[in-house]
Amino acid sequence: MTVIILSSFVAIFFITSLALLYFYLLSSSRNKLIVNKFEELKINHAIASQDINELKEKNSKLEAEHNKLLIAKTEAETRMQSLSEELSNTKANLEKAAREKEAAIEAKNEYMRKQELALQRIKGIEDEMKNWEKMKEEHTRNLQSSTLEVANKISSKLLDDHKREAENAKKENEKLIKQTTENLQEQHKYLVESVNSLQEGVKKSEVVHRALLSPSGAGSLGEITLENIFRNSSLIKGQDYHMQYSVSSSEGRGLRPDAVVFLPDNNVMVIDSKASKFFAELGEENIDASKEKEIYAGLKRSMNENLKGLASKEYSKAIEDEAGKSLARVYMFLPTETALEKLRKADPQFIEKAWSQGICPVGPTGLLNELLRASMIISGARQEENAKIIINQVKDLLSNVATLNEHANKLGKGLKSAIDNYDRFSGSFNRSFMSKANKICKLGVDVPKLKGIPPLSQYKITAIDYKSIDGDYSEENNEYEGEVKSLEVVK
């Protein structure tokens, strides 16, 4: 008896050891598969990173070319818009003046035609009067002896009628001449008013030109150019940058740079547009040497004042106090590259002075380069953040494998338990209930529905272990190769 008990313990211990060894081998094989998959993911990630670097290099070259095209496009659009407006205004004024001139010429020609007709009519009447005088003399000589009194009456009557007709014709001609003269005067007045209107348009154009020469007008032009450059960049408004961003200094004084760009690591770029009326004055023609020297002196003075004011605004402290960000750099934006060259000519030391105060003067080209560089930095930071998120998601996904394995094991055990219970139920049902029911029917209880009822089928489930250590996983056939069997249900 003792030997039997000891043998039973040895057998149980052996079976338990085999079970533990099986679970250990099963867990090791799955972990090995997971590690292999993770290594493949790392290799694919390295290949993708290399492709991304190559694409970044190509993208930088394309962005440089795109930068040049955008600058040329911006300058051309600005210049074309200005020229189109001037050309349309000039065409409108010329067309209006031409129409007014043609109307005046036509009115004048009409008046001349009517005047010639009136003169011709008066001349015809005078010729008729002369003819009547001649006829009167002839009648007087021929009929003087016999019909002098009658002829005189007839001649007097004819002469009176002729005079009356001549007076009526003269009045009509005078009325026509007066009306034509009034129309001509009205046309002349309209032409004078049109000329005055054209002169007023020229004056308004001069006012616009003078407005551009004013500091406020030049500043507005610079702000418009700055906003167009930002629109042509790849930065997102409201997310990567803000126009007219307001902050407060330590003294409570409001600061409002023209543009602010938010960089990674809580860094900020500040762009402030500066302009001077002297840039426009230098663009005028026929400037003598003394006048040009005076304008350059004024340009130097005004831009140094702008630099001093920009340096005193304390953007760095204000942004750090209010937004919790660090100031990367302050840019003084000039509306054209020509303006930057003229500034260098006016003050060769201006760039160095600005750099010493942490301010970088740039034109459209330089600013667009900086914005593209900022866009690449922001894009790179976003890609790094996305890569970190992807890695964390992969880690979470792989960590869920153990949980899935546990649930699968529980499901398998539950399935086996359900099949076993059903098997016991069907066996008991067939042996006990159905056999007794058939005996009762044979004793005389007629239950038609019980006739011909087949016994319940019994099922058997066999658990097949996947021993992946003895074989390799084939991705092509999506199955394990080696001594591995599949799960089957046997009826």
**Complete DSSP assignment for 359-371:** EEEE-HHHHHHHH
Q: Is the dihedral of CA 285, 199, 79, 209 positive or negative?
A: positive
CA distances from 59 to 49, 52, 239, 242, 372 (A): 15, 10, 22, 25, 11
Instruction: Report yes or no: 278 and 298 within 8 Å, Cβ to Cβ.
Output: yes
Specify whether the CB–CB gap between 353 and 215 falls below 8 A: no
E strands, 40-197, where? none
Q: Along the 491 residues of the chain, how does pLDDT read in single tens digits?
A: 565 676 676 677 667 777 777 676 776 666 677 667 667 777 877 786 787 778 778 878 887 887 788 887 787 777 777 777 777 887 787 788 778 878 878 877 787 787 777 677 777 767 776 776 676 667 566 655 554 555 456 556 655 665 676 677 667 767 777 776 677 667 657 656 765 665 565 455 544 444 444 555 555 667 788 888 888 777 888 888 888 877 766 666 677 788 888 888 778 888 888 777 776 666 666 677 777 788 778 878 888 888 787 777 767 667 666 656 666 678 888 888 888 888 888 888 888 888 888 888 888 888 888 888 888 888 888 888 888 888 888 888 777 777 878 888 888 888 878 888 888 888 888 787 777 777 777 777 777 776 667 777 777 777 666 554 444 444 444 444 444 333 444 44
What secondary structure letter does DSSP report for 258?
S
- How far CA 44 is from CA of 27, 50, 396, in Å, comes to 26, 10, 18
List, in sequence order, every residue forming a beta bridge with 271; answer none if it has no partner. Answer: 259, 331
* DSSP secondary structure of 229-246: HHHHSSPPBTTTEEES--
Query: Which residue shows structure tokens 């679970």?
Result: 23
Residue 358 gets the label, from left (phi > 0), alpha (psi -120 to 50) or beta, of left
Is the pTM value of this prediction over 0.75?
no
